[in-house]
Structures are given as structure tokens and as C-alpha cells.
Amino acid sequence: SARFKNNYFGAFNGRITTKQFDYYEPRVPGRFYINPSEMEFEFILNPDSRKRLNFSFHYEIGAQPKIQRLTHEIDIQSNLRIGQQINIEYALSLESTRNEYGFASYNPQNEAITFAKRDVRTTVNNIETSYVINNKSGISLRARHYWSGVQNSAYFLLQSNGTLIADTNFNDNLNQNYNAFTIDIMYRWIFAPGSELSLAWKTLSYSNANVLEYNYFRNLQQSWQNQANSLSLKVLYYLDYNSLKKKK
């Protein structure tokens, strides 16, 4: 780790994992996949949280040389405080993986487990703001857009010994282009010691297709294809049993 100008703190970490018997990825009890050894390295830059405006940065690279898998992940986060009442946070996450191997399909008739070799991209945009009305109440708003695209290039059959063999007969289109957009607004009021009222409104919209779309703004537009709204009210009231007992 190291300290940089303006009270930024950086750290560099690395780890190597030997091959593992993965019993989760096949999605069938008793079956496993031999996941090759992996190398991961990351760099973290954290700010002084006491500053009104600060940024944090995280970069990670992972590789599995045996299957030529390579992953890049970048996380950027910023925070802005305006006075004592307003706080704004923004976070962006980008991840790209080439030559990933993972579960694609299961046929219960012949107990065949199909794996796919695929490229995966993920983008997450998140913004959250909060306003403190007083020491007992406040309002928060959060908006988040999630996009994930999966492009399959080859399919394999999982063997009983955890290895893979090519499956040239599998021709289903299992590509995926998934979008989800959520907005949350919540009002919170502490009306008595240990007691609070919260009123929340949430909207969720999403889309899912098997044709990839790499244009971010088109994905953002497509995410509004299916929409659902909800409104909830929650009241928590604290009762002191000892005070009730004394009154009796």
C-alpha cells in the first residue's frame, strides 16, 4: 500500500488460485466442473472520506491461461456533500470477460449438462442522493441501470470427470441481452425513540432478448419494455415493557 497526494491511499494485491472442483456451476447435485488455476491482480485507490468531494478507483484483472480467459473490471465511485443536508453518490462498474466457460443448459432426459464458451460484458450505473430535513427525517432517491450481454461462441458437454468435450450438435441460441432499471424513493421519519415510519415507492423495468445490443443508450431505452410499480408503508413502534409494567 502507498499514500499519494491529497490523502489518497493506494493498494496493490495479487493472488493465485490452483484448479478447483466446482460443484455449483453444473447446477446438478453431485456433478462438478474442474475449474483451471487462476491469477488475479487488483489496484485500489481510496480517498479521504472527510473531503466534500472525493473519488475512489478499483481495477482488477484476472486470467486463466489454460482456457485463455481474461477479465477486466473497473469500478469508479464519487461522493459529493453539499452542506450538512445533501449527499450525492455516483458509481460506475464495467466488466468484460473473454473466453469464459460456464453452465448453459441441462437436459433431464439424458442428464446432459451443456457448457458454453462465451464473452460477457456488464455495465452498472448507479446514482443516489439523500436530503436530511432534520435530525429525525430525510428523503433518499436511488436510480440504477444494469446491463449484461452474453455472446456464446461454442458449446461443450460436461463429462462425469469434470472435463469438457465439444458438442457440435447443440445449436440453440442462448445469447442474452438483459437490462434492468430501478428507481427507489423513500421518506423516513423517526417520530419517537426507537420508532420510525418509512414510505417507499419503487419502479422496476426490464428487458431480456437473445440478440446483443452494444449501444448503451439503446439498451437504456429497451429497459422500459416491462414495468412494475410498488408503494409501501412501514411503521415500527418501540414499546418499553418495563414502563408498561410500572403503569399496571
User: pLDDT tens, 168-183?
Assistant: 888 899 999 999 999 9
Q: Mind listing the pLDDT tens digit for each residue in 211-237?
A: 999 999 899 888 888 889 999 999 998
As a whole number of angstroms, the distance between CA 180 and CA 225 comes to 10
Q: Cα separation of 3 and 36, whole Å?
A: 36
What is residue 45's predicted lDDT score, i.e. its pLDDT? 87
User: What pLDDT score does 101 carry?
Assistant: 96
The one-letter amino acid code at 54 reads: N
Q: What is the pLDDT of residue 51?
A: 83
pLDDT computed for residue 8 by the predictor: 61
Closest CA to 118 of 133, 104, 134: 104
pLDDT, residue 52, reads 87
Copy the grid coordinates of residue 245: 409494567
Q: Return the pLDDT at 203.
A: 94
d(CA 68, CA 101): 10
Residues 6+ apart with CB under 8 A from 116: 101, 102, 103, 104, 152, 153, 154, 155, 156, 174
How many residues are listed for the chain in this entry? 248
The amino acid at residue 226 is: N
* Residues lower than pLDDT 70 in the chain: 1-8, 240-248
